[in-house]
Structure 1
Amino acid sequence: MIIGKKHYWLLQLFGWGCFFLWHIFGAWSFDKMSVPEERLLTIQRAAGFSILGLLMTHGLRIVLLKLKVLSKKASTQIWIFLALTLLTSCVAGIVEMIVYKSLGLLSKGEILITNKSLILIFLNNSLAWFSYFIIWSAVYFIYHYVSAAQREQIDNLKLKSHIKELELKTIKTHINPHFIFNALNGIRAMVDENPQRARTAITELSNILRSSINIDKSETVPLTEELNIIKDYLALEQMRFEDRLIIQYDIEDKTTNQPVPPMMLQMLVENAIKHGISHEINGGLVKLSASVVDNLLDLRVENTGQLKERQEGGGFGIMSIQERLKLMYGNNALFEIRQSSSNTVTAILKLPVTL
C-alpha cells in the first residue's frame, strides 16, 4: 500500500516527533532558547526539519514500493537502499537550503556562509540528512527483512503441519482396511461351521467399525475408548478361537483418561492374534496392561508365541505405528516389540503423560 498502513504512520510520527524533541533539547543545552526571537526560530527550524524528514522518507518509501525493492535479493536491496538514501539526502539538502532561505529561517551566520559558498552548504546539509535517512532506511530494511523471515518460518511450519496431517490420514486409510480384511477372514471361517456365531460376529464387527469411524475424527482418544474397541475385537476373535484364547486386563484406573492414538493399541492386539495365537496349536494368552512409569504412559500387549522376523523388522502394521509416533510425538514416544520370555512376545508402547 503506497499511502501506508496505520502502524507505519504511527512509527513515522513517533520517530520524527522524537527527532523534533531532540532538536529542541539540543538548542536548550546550548542556551539558544533564552532569547524569545531565537526560541521561536529554533522551534520553527526543528518543526521544519521534522516535517521535511517525514515527507522525504515517505517519498523514499513510495519509490521503494514502486520499484518492488523488497522482493529482490537481500544484497541487491542493500545497494538500492544506499543509492536511494543518498539521492534522497541530496534532494533534502537542496530543499532545505531553498525553503529555509526563502522563509528567513536561517541565522545571520548561515546567511553569510550561504553567500560565500552554496556548494558547501549543500554538501553540509546533504551529509546531515544522509546520517538521518540511513538510520531510517536501516530500520525500515531490518523491519521488513525480519517480518519476511517470520512469515516464511510460519509458512514453513504450516506446510510441515499440513504434510504431517496428510501423512497421518494416509496411514489411517491403510490401517482400517488392514483391520477389516483380517476380521472378515475370521468371519468367513465361521460361516459354514456355525452360521449363528457368524451372524453374532458380524454384529460385533459392525460395532467395531462404527467406533472406528467415530474415533478417526480425532488424532487422539481417551484410553478407555480404545479399550472398548479392543474388547469388541477380542470378543469377535474369541468366537473363532473359543477356549484357545485367554484374555487378561491389567489397567490402572489413572490411565483410562490418558490420550492415545486411535486404533494403535488395537493394531498391536490384532498383531498378537495374527502372529502369535493363531500359530499356537493350543492357543494362548493375550494380556493388556496400562500403567504410568517415569511420567510415561506404559502400554503393553503380551501374547503367547514366538517373535517373527517380519514383526521385528517391521511389517506394514509395525511400520505404520512407528511412523505415526514419529509424526505425532517426535522423540518423546517409544515403541518396541521383543521376545520377553521363551514363549512370550511383548509389544511396549510408551507415550507422554498428559496432566
Structure 2
Amino acid sequence: MLCLGRQHHRAQLTTAPVIQFIKYDEHGQKVNKLVWDDHTQSPMELIEAVWLEVPDFRERYELPDGLYRQNVPAFDEIVVRELLVNALVHRPYTQRGDIFLNLHPDRLEMVNPGLLPLGVTPQNVLHTTVCRNEHMARLFHDQKLMERESSGFDKIFEVLLSQGRPAPELIETHDRVQVTVRRRILKPEVIDFIAKADQTYQLTQRERIVLGLLAQHDALTARELAGTLELPGVEALQPWLKRLLDWNLVQSTGRTQATRYFVDPGLLRSLNFAVGTTLKRIEPHRLSALIIEDVGRYPGTRIGDIHQRVGLEIPRSRVRRAVEQLVKDGGLLQEGVRSGTRYRLP
C-alpha cells in the first residue's frame, strides 16, 4: 500500500509517513515550513520531492582554494538523501509520528519517531546491521536509493568527514531518534587532502573515514580513535590504519593504548604524497589488473617490457608470478618459448 497504492490507500494507513521541514532563524524562531502530508507520493517519491522542493538544500558557499574559489554545498545531497532513506526504511510502521527535518543556521536535524532497531545503539551504529523492515530495505536497494541493504550511516560518516565536517551526532530518547549534521567545515584543506589521497591510493571507505577524522584533529590516542569509531578495543584499529601507516598518510608515536595517531600538517598543506611506495605493497588483484591493461595496450609484449611499464619498484618475480597465474586462469595468452615468449589478451 505504501509503495504501490494510491492516495486513498495510503491515507487509510494511520502510520503512513508524513515529513515536515521547518526552518529556524538564529533566534530559534520558525521562518519557513513545508509539509508532505497528502499521501500522494510513495516513500521513494518523497525522497526526491523533499530534496527538490527545499530551496535551502541548494545553498552553496565559497571557500578559498589558492588563487581560485571552491563552491561547497551547505548540506551534501548524498547526506540528505541517506538521512531520508534511513528515516523511511528503518522507522517502525506500527507507530504514529511525523518525520521532522529541522534546519537551523548551523545544523540540520533529522528526527524520526520510534527507537532504533533492536540491537542497534548510538554506540554501535557504524558496525551493526539490523533491518527492521526487510522488504522495504530490499526495495530501496533494488531501486538504487541505498548502496546496500540496511546500510547508510557509514556513508554519512564518510561524506561528512571527507568534507572536513564533524561526524554526525546520533541521539536516542524514549520515543525518537535524532541525527544532527553540522553545516560548518572545520578544516577546508581536508577536502582536497582526502580527494587526492583517494585518487592516489584508492582508499577504502574505512580508510576515508579514519583519515578524515584524524585530519580534523591534531592527534588522537588509540583509545580515543577506537572510541570515536565505536570499536571494541584498540586492537580492532588494525584494518582501519594498517595501509595508511604503510603509506605514511598517518603517523604514530608511543605504544599500545598510549599510541597517538596524526596526519602530518605539512602533508595536509602540501599534498605531496610519496606515491612510489604504493607499488611495493600492491595487492595481487590490482597488479593483475595493471598487467591486463598493459597487455591490452601493447599486445605481443614481453614480460620485461610489462615489468618496466607497470613499475620497476615491484619485484620482477611478483610480476612473473602474476603473469603466469593470468595465463593459467585464461586472462592472458602466451606465445613462443623462453626469451621469445610474448603475451596478449585472449
TM-score band w.r.t. shorter chain: under 0.3
TM-score of the aligned structures, taking structure 1 as reference length: 0.21
Q: Which has the larger radius of gyration?
A: 1
Larger helix proportion, structure 1 or 2? Answer: 1
Larger strand proportion, structure 1 or 2? Answer: 2
